[in-house]
Amino acid sequence: MLSVVAYNHGYLYLRMFVKRLIYLLHEYPPDCSFEVEVSKLRAGEDVARNIARLTTVTQKFIQFLRDATNQIPTFVTRFFSNLQIFLNIPQNHS
């Protein structure tokens, strides 16, 4: 049921983020790595450069999220607010 609700009320919102992330990743050459686990880097890849790319992409994606908080569908915010109350999770007002 939760997946149906998420699909019906959050699909376009989430699609927007995936699309922006794909466009962001497309700015890099095809052979670029964004590997989180350093041991999985290909031979000869620069660890520091990989970490810098990964950090940059992560920061930009977080900024996408921050910039679009006012676009979150009302139903989704109400649903999670009610879920938080139902599960007795303390609210963060920062």
pLDDT tens by residue, 71-82: 888 877 787 778
Sign of CA dihedral 5, 22, 60, 41: positive
Cα–Cα distance list, 87 to 3, 28, 54 (Å): 19, 42, 34
User: Considering the entire predicted model, what is its pTM?
Assistant: 0.63
- The mean pLDDT of 2-16, rounded to a whole number, is 77
Residue 66 predicted with pLDDT over 70: yes
Can you give the pLDDT at residue 80?
Answer: 75
Mean pLDDT of the chain, nearest integer: 83
Inform me whether the pLDDT recorded for 94 exceeds 60: no
Q: Report the distance separating Cα 71 and Cα 73, nearest Å.
A: 6
Residue 59 pLDDT > 90? yes
